Structure 1
């Protein structure tokens, strides 16, 4: 590009941006730079050969005047839409654009790049004249590459599912996951990060891979957080915040990758994907994947989500197994005073609410069975109306009764259960709720408390102690039955037990329990009878 004439509209600050110099001054193809107000602020001299107008005539014009199908002042938006992701650029052939010049219309291939400067997001469009046959060939090539990437992820998911089954400890699951990911092309490096609510830091707990420098060297110089600072707005921070896979096609020009760009360049990393390890509202961490080729994760973010779910399920199963088999348990007492709907209801109704049972389900379908003491059950339900997706009275007594609740949002009980802990007792009264929680002796106590504090920031850990597991006369039988029951059979039996279906007279009908489980009545009866048969077989065979 020649020296701009005096009428050039390019801001001085933009001319000093290294990325602008690289894209515009050194580009082998015609380039047009557009401001958010649709003004062409710069264009290379060779742009005349594709639009029939020289660069001086284009500077200051609206880009929309070159686009036959665009509305006035919408050219910038057209380019932005050609940009597949705010953090990535499109490779050649992924986008074509028809422009109108003095010689008629021309079909162009455009490679749109972000060029940020002093808070303004300029777009630079590098253009090539498109041959229809070559465009179709490039599209076929792009689809083949995307299919190959999806097949590689599917193979990784199968390999990962087999590998984590044999890992008993959470740290082993995290290590194996990173090793298997790094073993599969095109991944050069992977690390697992655990979020810490108190410090807002994401702490690396496992890693594997190779590169010009060791993984430890890369992790030593990068800092990732979950707050609103620059280090919290990158791929890992966004993945933890949204629980969606977040990918960056090329770290060299992704604005939000700024804090880690130099370290990634030194290690040869070009593309990054952050995969949340989350399940049913509980986030265990994030896996960050790195590749040496740009665009390595294009089109496969949905498939990568399966990687996170496989690891999350393995971590949950590991924690539940440890809780089941431990001879001693860690007992925690938590106190919540802020924002709990159950606490607010006890203050409004001057009553005490005590958890009698919990039936986990899918999201908001989890059910709490709560004993009401000190007021009519209907009055307690009225006080909870704004926070429940479904509620009913199971039975009434002289002093209160039993109610069934499905909270519209995740609560403390479902959050702790999803994290692998067991709520042994929960009572709300006099402006506070107290939860007695049992978990494995080597459980991540800080992580459990962090889960609760995401819901209630001022939650307190009142006490922590080790307790001996109560002797169980039928421990072996119970363990065998628990392993034999399917998840649906276990849920049907638990719901029937807590809802009074086994009482005489019955306190809940099969239809009501089916509605709680969000299944049809015949489906409930099928799961209940099958589970009931397995219980009888275990005790009488």
Structure 2
């Protein structure tokens, strides 16, 4: 029983004398509170809500707040924890006293019912069908049957149908009634707890199995489209879920567009409109999941006021509860997974946790597919951005016509970025000074001789969110160019990437970035130089040293010949062998990577 108020009892009894007697029996509270383990009701008597017809009793139970059974420790014993559904705009309640006016009854808020005392024979219903009607309603409170008949068979049948107890009114005493109510509430709570644990176990087994299947799908499928469809198919194949779809906001538009679906759709996605703006269609769980990046649950579609724009379409397809799960990885959203059930209150707190983890698994799998596409595809996308308001001292230093700074390679090392590039038309002292005056750039070092044309290395520290975000999308920051007072950045992505979303993300994490151009280029693998080309680039001694080292297993692991052994075979000192080998390796790799750069420059 909640510590916030007295015990709430719904008495459905058409005999005024019997109803008055029941109320008198419940006028004392100490014994009932003691049995329920509650001393926080401040001595308040139980509130008895009296109805004389089954129809009115069911209407009361069907009101939004009356189907909550509170446990003796003050917790919600029947409804799963999670985002609370908004109640209906107004709920009609019955007053505890029959003398109160109808208007006051309509304006009062309905109290949660803890137990139902039910007479089987009413003006509009008779016998065990009365009990069946109450049990088949959405009520979750325990039911105690009251009857004027001494019929043990009827009592056994009532309990087998779901009643907590069967009492003959002529035999009921106040201690018996108090004891029966206390036991009924406690047994009902225990039943609900067992059911909750059973559902949690079933959800764990079910979602773990689905998660394993989706993980296998991520390994075997070759595209994001195939993976998203497989996810929908897996979830919709489970009896617990009626319909599943994945979608996301269209870049440049507030509308959420489906990409994959499975289950009982029947034109649902064609009928509805979902947005993530402040309009009528942007108030539901999908929009909230996009905004908060947290799972959102509608526990009862019929009663949740936020579901009004889609309620009729959902009810036509027997959707009674839903969950919107963001698909995330490394703070990047890849979509929203929407799951519908034919049962109200279907998504328990535990199941929400498992579905949230499933969203993370899907996000990780999509990110892995994008990275795989980026690595294996010869054709890639290059997005060029013009960046304003960044590295201004460096931009100003290249404002004159002949000055140019290019960075051809970025290498992430821990929480910093190593940048390798070249400069021309600007003295290295001037460039070094500009870098010193630029935030987050440091450790400038000239790598090759030359005053106005040279290669250099520098380090970027501080904010590297742009690099992390692009990498999470399966891409990389390829190069940067600073000339004529303009800073341009090039990002490389796989052709399967969502270009519009990447552009939006880059402009978000780098506020001064403005999308300028897009192009498709062929990314050739490093070319392996032919033996003839090697012979023309290497001296005889270098070629001999490289070939002998290779054939003797010097490059194997573990080595089958040491450097000293190879040098002995060549009749040279180990130091001379090392010198020849290093020179040969440098020329070899120069041939490989110079050929690659020449191929890209020629495209």
Q: TM-score range by the shorter chain?
A: 0.5 to 0.7
Question: Which residue matches 2:545?
Answer: none
Offset, 1:298: 1.2
The 1:265/1:366 distance shift into structure 2, 3 A limit, reads farther
Figure out how many residues of one structure are paired with residues of the other and give that number. Answer: 376
2: distance between equivalents of 1:142 and 1:159?
A: 25
How do 1:268-307 and structure 2 match up within 5 A?
268-299=318-349, 300-307=351-358
What is the TM-score of this pair, normalised by structure 2? 0.53
The 1:109/1:464 distance shift into structure 2, 3 A limit, reads closer
The 1:457/1:108 distance shift into structure 2, 3 A limit, reads closer
Offset, 1:457: 7.1
Structure 1, 267-276 or 136-145: larger mean CA deviation:
136-145
2: distance between equivalents of 1:197 and 1:376?
A: 38
Question: Which residue matches 1:327?
Answer: 378
The 1:97/1:117 distance shift into structure 2, 3 A limit, reads farther
Is the partner of 1:260 in helix, strand or coil?
helix
The 1:466/1:148 distance shift into structure 2, 3 A limit, reads same
Question: Which residue matches 2:190?
Answer: 136
Question: Which residue matches 1:414?
Answer: 468
Question: Which residue matches 1:243?
Answer: 293
The 1:401/1:324 distance shift into structure 2, 3 A limit, reads closer
Write 1 or 2 for the structure with the bigger share of strand.
Answer: 1
C-alpha root-mean-square deviation of aligned residues, in Å? 4.3
Is the partner of 1:187 in helix, strand or coil?
coil
Question: Which residue matches 1:369?
Answer: 418
How do 1:8-23 and structure 2 match up within 5 A?
none
- Unaligned 5+ residue runs, structure 1? 1-26, 32-44, 54-65, 71-87, 99-106, 385-391, 476-541
- Does residue 224 of the first structure (1) align with residue 274 of the second (2)? yes
The 1:462/1:96 distance shift into structure 2, 3 A limit, reads same
Question: Which residue matches 2:547?
Answer: none
1: distance between equivalents of 2:25 and 2:479?
A: 74
Task: Answer whether contact 1:353 1:370 (CA < 8 A) is retained.
Answer: no
> Larger Rg: 1 or 2?
2
Offset, 1:207: 0.4
How do 1:310-349 and structure 2 match up within 5 A?
310-337=361-388, 342-343=390-391
Task: Answer whether contact 2:88 2:303 (CA < 8 A) is retained.
Answer: no
Which deviations, in whole Å up to 9, do the C-alpha atoms of 1:129-180 show, x marking residues without a partner?
4622332332232222223222221121111111232111111111111111
1: distance between equivalents of 2:26 and 2:486?
A: 71
1: distance between equivalents of 2:9 and 2:482?
A: 70
The 1:114/1:183 distance shift into structure 2, 3 A limit, reads same
2: distance between equivalents of 1:330 and 1:169?
A: 17
Offset, 1:428: 6.7
Task: Answer whether contact 2:247 2:258 (CA < 8 A) is retained.
Answer: yes
1: distance between equivalents of 2:484 and 2:22?
A: 75
- Does residue 126 of the first structure (1) align with residue 122 of the second (2)? no
- Unaligned 5+ residue runs, structure 2? 1-7, 13-19, 29-39, 45-63, 91-106, 116-181, 400-404, 422-430, 530-603
Task: Answer whether contact 2:71 2:189 (CA < 8 A) is retained.
Answer: no
Offset, 1:277: 1.1
2: distance between equivalents of 1:49 and 1:259?
A: 48
The 1:50/1:346 distance shift into structure 2, 3 A limit, reads farther
2: distance between equivalents of 1:108 and 1:208?
A: 34
The 1:201/1:274 distance shift into structure 2, 3 A limit, reads same
Task: Answer whether contact 2:281 2:309 (CA < 8 A) is retained.
Answer: yes
How do 1:22-33 and structure 2 match up within 5 A?
29=10
2: distance between equivalents of 1:135 and 1:188?
A: 29
How do 1:379-398 and structure 2 match up within 5 A?
379-380=437-438, 383-384=439-440, 393-394=442-443, 396=445
Task: Answer whether contact 1:343 1:431 (CA < 8 A) is retained.
Answer: no
1: distance between equivalents of 2:371 and 2:76?
A: 57
Question: Which residue matches 2:360?
Answer: 309
1: distance between equivalents of 2:198 and 2:227?
A: 33
Task: Answer whether contact 1:335 1:432 (CA < 8 A) is retained.
Answer: yes
What is the TM-score of this pair, normalised by structure 1? 0.59
Offset, 1:456: 5.4
Task: Answer whether contact 1:108 1:128 (CA < 8 A) is retained.
Answer: no
Offset, 1:181: 1.2
Task: Answer whether contact 1:108 1:127 (CA < 8 A) is retained.
Answer: no
Offset, 1:265: 0.9
1: distance between equivalents of 2:76 and 2:223?
A: 55
Offset, 1:182: 0.8
The 1:225/1:46 distance shift into structure 2, 3 A limit, reads farther
Task: Answer whether contact 1:276 1:308 (CA < 8 A) is retained.
Answer: yes
